[in-house]
């Protein structure tokens, strides 16, 4: 009976994979009849080739902005204050007299900037705040006074940042078979209900995390995944969504169907020099993407290099990665057999240069 159940689970997973390739969306709106998938894909490709499907293009057009605004106000609680702040700035920019701008600029500063600063939740840069404070202190209120904030609001509202903060639940996914296991839980193949896209769902058991005192590791992995998932790097297993239930923490990651390098080494013995050049080049590009975001990866080994169905590799498992923007890493971490000799030396510290090798 157990064998039969395993076969049924495998069949269900394979059918979901095929369905995700054939139908990009699992359910369509009852109010809007969309074109056939083939027509949509042709139009999307046509517009993408001409640079029309970008955040900047859509956000700068009236209809595109109104649709985006409606989505944020009704479905994305975190983005609502940003949209409201943006609209207040746009109203300020349309004021014709300096007297009007003086009064309105102070209201905007008190409502959207000072209030957040006092609550220690200001999401914008120090330079933007100093720019506005400096001008207000001199009673200078040009129409573009809040331009630094406009730029940072747009950056925060970009698709990759918005997607990472969408509130989801297990009901938004069809969960299939287990495709991997870890110290705190399992990894499942899953399919997002509204788009039909396949992902890997990494579920961390909260009880297991607490039992092994792994709260810091789990939180660190969530933070590191958020940092490296901006920019859409094709050489890192990135996170698209994250949510939690009373029992589990769930990370929705890129699905990799080609196994890992450790498995392929055990099956084939050795790789050719050409293959290794190819893999090494893609790994280096993935590491470069991390370093550009001040993330150092500290567990590089064949088992953490996954392959997709086309043979390209991605770096996975950022549980031991760390942010070195404020301080250099010093702990001796990693997997024995793959750690740098300098790290293994008793009493030596893991300097940034060693971690990047």
- Angstrom distance (rounded) from CA 122 to CA 152: 12
Q: What does the chain come to in residues? A: 357
Inter-residue long-range contacts of 85-91, CB under 8 Å, 24+ positions, other chains counted: 85/112, 85/149, 85/153, 86/150, 86/153, 86/157, 88/112, 89/146, 89/149, 89/150, 89/153
The single residue of 247, 260, 275, 299 carrying the catalytic annotation is 299
User: 264 near 324, Cβ under 8 Å?
Assistant: no
Q: Is 194 a catalytic residue?
A: no
Which residues does the annotation place in the binding site for ATP? 202
Considering just the CA atoms, what is the radius of gyration of the chain in Å? Answer: 24
- Sequential DSSP letters for 291-317: HHTTEE-----GGGEEE-TTS-EEE--
Facing residues of 251 across strands?
202, 242
Nearest to 158 by CA among 228, 239, 83, 56: 56
Residue written as tokens 């975190």?
78
CA torsion, points 20, 23, 25, 26, in degrees to nearest 10?
A: -80
Catalytically active residues, by annotation: 299
């Amino acid at each position: 009976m157990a064998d039969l159940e395993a076969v049924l689970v495998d069949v269900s997973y394979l059918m979901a994979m095929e369905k995700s390739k054939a139908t990009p969306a699992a359910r369509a709106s009852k109010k809007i009849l969309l074109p056939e998938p083939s027509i949509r894909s042709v139009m999307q490709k046509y517009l993408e080739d001409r640079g029309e499907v970008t955040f900047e293009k859509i956000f700068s057009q009236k209809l595109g902005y109104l649709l985006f605004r409606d989505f944020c106000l009704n479905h994305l609680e975190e983005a609502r204050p940003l949209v409201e702040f943006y609209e207040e700035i746009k109203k300020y920019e349309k004021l014709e007299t300096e007297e009007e701008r003086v009064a309105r600029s102070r209201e905007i500063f008190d409502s959207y900037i000072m209030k957040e600063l006092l609550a220690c939740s200001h999401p914008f840069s120090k330079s933007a705040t100093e720019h506005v404070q400096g001008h207000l202190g001199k009673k200078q209120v040009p129409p573009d006074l809040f331009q630094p904030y406009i730029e940072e609001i747009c950056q925060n509202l970009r698709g990759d940042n918005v997607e990472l903060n969408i509130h989801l639940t297990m009901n938004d996914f069809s969960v299939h078979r287990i495709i991997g296991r870890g110290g705190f839980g399992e990894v499942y193949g899953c399919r997002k209900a509204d788009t039909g896209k396949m992902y890997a769902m990494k579920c961390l058991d909260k009880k297991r995390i607490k039992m092994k005192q792994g709260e810091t590791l789990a939180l660190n992995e969530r933070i590191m995944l958020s940092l490296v998932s901006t920019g859409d790097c094709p050489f890192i297993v990135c996170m698209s969504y994250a949510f939690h239930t009373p029992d589990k923490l769930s990370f929705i990651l890129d699905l990799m169907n080609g196994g890992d390098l450790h498995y392929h080494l055990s099956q084939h013995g050795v790789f050719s020099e050409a293959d290794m050049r190819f893999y090494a080049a893609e790994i280096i590009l993935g590491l470069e993407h991390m370093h550009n975001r001040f993330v150092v990866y500290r567990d590089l080994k064949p088992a953490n290099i996954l392959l997709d169905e086309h043979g390209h590799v991605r770096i996975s498992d950022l549980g031991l990665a760390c942010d070195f923007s404020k301080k250099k890493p010093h702990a001796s971490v990693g997997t024995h057999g793959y750690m740098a000799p300098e790290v293994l030396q008793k009493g030596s510290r893991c300097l940034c240069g060693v971690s990047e090798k």
